[in-house]
Every structure is written in structure tokens, then in C-alpha cells.
Structure 1
Amino acid sequence: MSLILEQYLHEKAGLSDADVARTLAAVQARSLQRGTMLLQEGQICRYKIFVADGLLRNYAVAADGSEHILQFCPELHWTLDVESYDHQTPARFNIDAIEASEVYLWPKDAFHQLLHEIPALEAFSRQLVSRNIYSSRHRLVSALSATPEEKYQEFVNSYPGLLSRVPLRMIASYLGISLKTLGRIRQASARH
């Protein structure tokens, strides 16, 4: 089992050695090649996903085939299609690997059992949900009111390590701007 995951559970979630061992006993490890789909629209999201290494994205595909990226998930981040997971209904979103990745999956029933048995994990899970809500609300306000330049600067500040790892078309999709606009913004910021 990954030392990265073990350290994360100790340091970020504050789990004891015994609680870490119980949490790791319920997990499934997967190695993903670039482009591997973990969840496809229409499937049921059955897992909480933790990225130990690599990079995932959570996105929707519009009727015209354009992609709308909701979230990038680099190392030490969690993802899922929350509505599909909570209600066990068909997913509206896709999750795939942008890079070769090492991920850990907890089946829903196993994870919920762990939440009941490990109070520190339950408290940590609530903190993650709260942070995700705050982040989503901030992103929504930005999408509605920020200029393309402001959106790009927020991305650079929030994800400085991703600029060299994510294709520009995906960054444009995440920001909700055209590739041409993104190119213009990058050129202008390079001059300053």
C-alpha cells in the first residue's frame, strides 16, 4: 500500500495507526494509463477516489461535443460524481486520467462503514465536503463575474504546478474561455 496514502491519512486526517490500517484494508489500488476512464457519463459512481500520484479531471460533455471541466485532481486530492455517488443514479460527469496515475478507490458501503467506525475520518470527511462547497461557490462566482484575465490569474494562483501538466485546451475548458482568448492572455502575461 502507498506510503503517500498512509502519511496523508496520518497527517491530514489525524488517524491513528490502527485507524489507518482499517482504512487501507478497505481500499482498492489502481494504476491508470493516460486517458483511462474511471467513470463515464451514465455509469453509477460507486467509489470515493483519492489520487496518490498523477492527475485526473472531472468533466461533462455538452450536446455539441464540447467539454466542460469542473475539477482537476492532482496528487493528494479526492474526486467523485457526488450526485451519482450519493443517490446511486447515473453519472452526469466523466472522470479520466490526464496523466498516468495511481489512485485508491473506496467502495461506497465500505467507506460509509469506516465513517461510522472512525470518528476522526468522519470529521475529516466533513471538512473535505465543506472545503469543496466553499471552492465550488467561489468558482461559480468567478465564472459569473470575473474577466477572462482574472479567471486565468486565479487558476495560476490556485494550481501553479498544473500549467505545465495540462493541455491548454483543457485549461480553456476549465476557465470557460476560448483557446484563442487563453493564448492572448498568456502572451500578455508573459510580457509583464
Structure 2
Amino acid sequence: MHTEFQQYLFGQTDLPDETIRQVCYLAKPKVLRRNESILGTGEICRHKVFVMKGLLKTYHTTTDGHEHILQFSPEQSWTLDVESYDRQVPSRVSIAAVERSEILCWRKTDFDTLLAELPALKQFAEQLISRNTYYSRQRMLTMLSGTPEERYEDFVQRFPGFLSRLPLRMIAAYLGISLKTLTRIRHAQYRR
């Protein structure tokens, strides 16, 4: 069925086999090409997404064309626009594949039913939300108080595998610094 996802749930939860089969049954697999969007600005987020393979980005593009990356979602992670999904309002962000990606999608109505019927899944979902909230708070503090060098060092520590997968312009957009500043920081590190 969705072997990678089943293995993920077996490793992350104590959900019984039947529950995992129920969750998998409602998932719709999709393959995204590089740069293909699953959510565009102004659209309503109607799906919860699990990344089986590949890498997605959640981003906002300003009116002058600057991209601000809010989050990367690698394999074995969940993604969606929380506000748009929960409130069913137009999204202010977009979500797209950085590289060819294989994802599973659950319609909101289906996932809401699963959460209502499966208390163990609801508990797991709440744990994921808490972890994401903690990480988001830490990222915000780093962005507000860290120097560009500290932000880059934090990125390297948290996501060492991303350096070979992402163009520098995306790393700069995630860190909230210019490509020129990122290049300067990297050159200074190489010289040490």
C-alpha cells in the first residue's frame, strides 16, 4: 500500500495495524515534479500532506518578487498551511516541490473523520503540532535575535543534509538574508 508511510507510523506511534490500514486507505498518493505546486497563494488548503520522498517548501512571494521561505518539509514530515486548512480561507503562502517528490494527501473531511474516530491518531497529531510549535518559536527567536552567521550555523546544525539539496538562493530566502551575505558567510567559514 504505502510502505514508507506505514513504517513511519509503526516507528512513531503505537497505533494498531488496523488503524494504520484505515489511515493509509484514505491517503491519495501523488508525484510532484520539481517546482510543481500543491498549494498556491489565494487557494484554500484542502489537504494534509505527508512527504514520503523528496523535499517541499512553504513560501511567500512579495509583490516585488522576493521569495521568503517559511519552512522546508523533507521526507517523513507533514505539511500544510495551518490557517487556510483550519479556517478554510485563502492561503497567504504557496507550497511547492523543491525536487521530485512523492507525497500522500488526505482531504480535510477524511482526516477530520479519522481524528474523530481514532483517539490514538488524534493524540499523535497533537504531539506533532506541539513539536512544530516549539520549533517555530525557536526559529522565530533565532531570526529575531541571531546574526546572519548565527542563523546560518543554526541551519547547518539542524539540517546538514539540506546543504547539498538546496540552491544557495533558497537557503538565503529561508534565513532572511541576501545571497551576497550568505556567500560571504560561507567564504569566511571556508577560510577558517
Q: TM-score, normalised by structure 1?
A: 0.98
User: What's the CA shift string for 1:32-91, capped at 9, x where partnerless?
Assistant: 110111000000000111000000000001111100000001100111000000000000
Paired position in structure 2 for 1:75: 75
Give runs of aligned pairs for residues 100-179 of structure 1, distance below 5 A: 100-179=100-179
Counterpart Cα distance in 2 of 1:2 and 1:100: 18
Shift of 1:11: 1.2
Structure 1, unmatched stretches of 5+, are none
Shift of 1:150: 0.3
Q: Report how many aligned residue pairs link the two structures.
A: 192
- SS of the residue corresponding to residue 164 of structure 2 reads coil
Paired position in structure 2 for 1:186: 186
Deviation >3 Å, runs of 4+: none
Paired position in structure 2 for 1:90: 90
CA contact 2:53–2:101 (8 Å) conserved in 1: yes
Counterpart Cα distance in 2 of 1:147 and 1:5: 38
The letter for the 2-side match of 1:63 is: T
Counterpart Cα distance in 2 of 1:16 and 1:57: 32
Counterpart Cα distance in 2 of 1:64 and 1:184: 24
Structure 2, unmatched stretches of 5+, are none
Shift of 1:14: 2.2
Q: TM-score, normalised by structure 2?
A: 0.98
Shift of 1:2: 2.3
The letter for the 1-side match of 2:7 is: Q
Paired position in structure 1 for 2:46: 46
- SS of the residue corresponding to residue 56 of structure 1 reads strand
The letter for the 1-side match of 2:106 is: W
Counterpart Cα distance in 2 of 1:115 and 1:13: 14
- SS of the residue corresponding to residue 41 of structure 1 reads coil
